[in-house]
Amino acid sequence: MAYAAQDLPGGPAVNQLNLHPPVTRIAVEQHWLHWMMLIICTVIFIAVFGVMFYSIWKHRKSQGAKAANFHESVKVEVAWTVAPFIIVILMALPATKVLVAQKDTTNADLTIKATGYQWKWGYDYLSGEGEGLGFVSTLDNAQRQMSNSGDVSNAPSDYLLRVDNPLVVPVGKKVRIITTANDVIHSFMVPAFGIKQDAIPGFVRDTWFKAEKTGDYYGQCAELCGKEHAYMPIHVKVLSAEAYSAWVAEEKKKLAAKADDPNKVWVLADLVARGEKVYAANCAACHQANGKGAGPIKPLDGSPVVLGPTADMMHAVLEGRANGAMPAWKQLSDTELAAVVTFAKNHWSNQTGQLVQPAQFVAARGGKFPEGGGSAAPAAPAADSAVPAQGAAAAASDAGPYQVFFETGKSALDDQAQAAVKKAAEYWKAHKDGKIALSGFVDSTGNADKNAELAKERAKAVAKLLEDSGIAGDRIELRKPETITAAAGSDQQARRVDITAAK
């Protein structure tokens, strides 16, 4: 558990040695098993080592004594076999009973899915009172900043355990928790409830609890899940039946009020203001409030990805980056995603004027990303702003970037791809002083070496056609292929070469 600055009811205590005080029947039985087995093992330990040390002491000077001469005793051997067997059975029977009860998740009054993300929990109420509710629970940003500063002298009792949205459940009701994960293995653990269940990507596990007391109870991810594993707390708030019903009613009102129409057309100022809140709740912990990043976390202020085509940043937030170092944010709504991208593109020193509408994220989830940069005016995305058909080019302006798409596993340019390259060549022939950069992209799946080689061949094919179209070879710069993780339906983005101005 987290560092205990003060005793925390439902959580850790200063200098705590014992298990957490139980508030479920299962946890009570676990405590009884713990003490029963500890006492039995302690008695055996004292008996065995007592006889051993007594013999060592008693006979330490028995020089010249005649040793006893005896053979095996069937009675002793039987007793020595039966006694441990009985002891093990006495421990195994009640332990088995508790284990079986722990796995009985039938007849639940409330079912909640807990999804582990790096590094937060997502909760979805699947059945029972509150069905349809869902939210993400993240460590309080003020406590995260306190941890980063290294000064915990004024740490509150719930240090590193306070979250923005606790999991709320009713007292005296059987709550089934279904666990899974979005990225790596996590583990859902609340000691006071006596539960700990791994959350594994691609798998569904479950556990349950029935809290007998109202109050606040705390846990943490109990599986090392990355560099911010320590910042993934669990806070469960147990309410009376009446208070829980009132909470559900209030949350549903909030849900209805917050329900965003993805077809709504936003103006820049409103979307930036909305994005600032989304950024503070989900992004500032890593990228910092000033957008400068920290350590291996890349800055957003002045980032080429942020300043570049809108599609690039949309890919980043939907699919994640660097093999999960930056997680995917698909759980956010289309409006929240559009808001935070627009905020990043129009905050700090970034003043692109680009605006991303929620409808563009609706299309992006289906694999259709906008062409080039985002719109600079508060208008809805054009109907033809989807990712072009295979081989087509996409350009925000005459200067590009031009995107040339290839068929899976091939480096040959089809007719549409050739037309795209020739279109780019026409621009660059008119701007003879400019240098051209060719950037290939590959999917993160499959053989990395073969993927990289294929990306190089594609870039060379584009370079050759540019030269054949009248572009001098010394103006063309081949960049190292970039590996991206394509979302379902958008693998086309990993089969492209971008033609851009070299910087």
Q: Domain count for the chain, please give it.
A: 4
Which of the four pLDDT bands, split at 50, 70 and 90, describes residue 488?
very low
**pLDDT at residue 324 in the model:** 61
Mean pLDDT lowest for which of 34-38, 208-212, 286-290?
Answer: 286-290
Helix pair angle (310-319, 358-365), 10° resolution: 60
**Average of per-residue pLDDT across 219-240:** 94
151-185 pLDDT, tens digit each: 878 888 888 999 999 999 999 999 999 999 988 99
DSSP conformation class of 322: G
How many beta carbons lie within 10 A of that of residue 48, not counting itself? 10
**pLDDT at residue 286 in the model:** 83
- Same domain for 355 and 272: yes
- Same domain for 355 and 407: no
- Same domain for 114 and 99: no
**CA neighbours closer than 13 Å in the CB half-sphere of residue 413:** 23
- Same domain for 246 and 139: yes
Residue 145 lies in a domain: yes
- Closest among 361, 351, 329, 206 to 272, alpha carbons compared: 351
Burial letters 493-502, b for 16+ CB under 10 A, else e: bbbbbbbbee
* Percentage, residues of the chain above pLDDT 70: 88
- Same domain for 118 and 252: yes
Q: In the predicted model, is pLDDT for residue 487 greater than 50?
A: no
**pLDDT at residue 493 in the model:** 65
Domain end residue (candidates: 233, 259, 285): 259
Name 153's Cβ contacts closer than 8 Å, sequence gap at least 6: none
- Same domain for 497 and 360: no
> Virtual CA dihedral for 8, 14, 16, 20, nearest 10 degrees?
0
Domain end residue (candidates: 198, 231, 259): 259
* CATH number of the domain within which 197 lies: 2.60.40.420
Residue 211 lies in a domain: yes
- Same domain for 215 and 123: yes
Q: Is 369 left (phi over 0), alpha (psi -120 to 50) or beta?
A: beta
- Same domain for 158 and 296: no
**pLDDT at residue 397 in the model:** 40
- Same domain for 157 and 120: yes
- Same domain for 439 and 411: yes
Residue ranges making up the domain that contains 39? 25-59+73-103
Residue 205 lies in a domain: yes
Residue 132 lies in a domain: yes
Domain end residue (candidates: 240, 259, 278): 259
Cα separation of the two ends of the chain? 49
Residue 349 lies in a domain: yes
**What is the reported pTM?**
0.58
Residue predicted with more confidence, 95 or 333? 95
22-59 pLDDT, tens digit each: 999 999 999 999 999 999 999 999 999 999 999 888 87
Residue 18 lies in a domain: no
Residue 396 lies in a domain: no
Burial class (CB in 10 A: 0-12, 13-18, 19+), 446: exposed
- Same domain for 244 and 179: yes
Residue 45 lies in a domain: yes
Name 310's Cβ contacts closer than 8 Å, sequence gap at least 6: 341, 345, 354, 356, 360, 370, 372, 373, 374
Q: In the predicted model, is pLDDT for residue 388 greater than 50?
A: no
**CA neighbours closer than 13 Å in the CB half-sphere of residue 274:** 23
Which of the four pLDDT bands, split at 50, 70 and 90, describes residue 6?
confident
**pLDDT at residue 62 in the model:** 65
Mean pLDDT lowest for which of 83-92, 107-116, 209-218, 494-503?
Answer: 494-503
> 235 pairs with which residues across the strands?
218
- Same domain for 471 and 431: yes
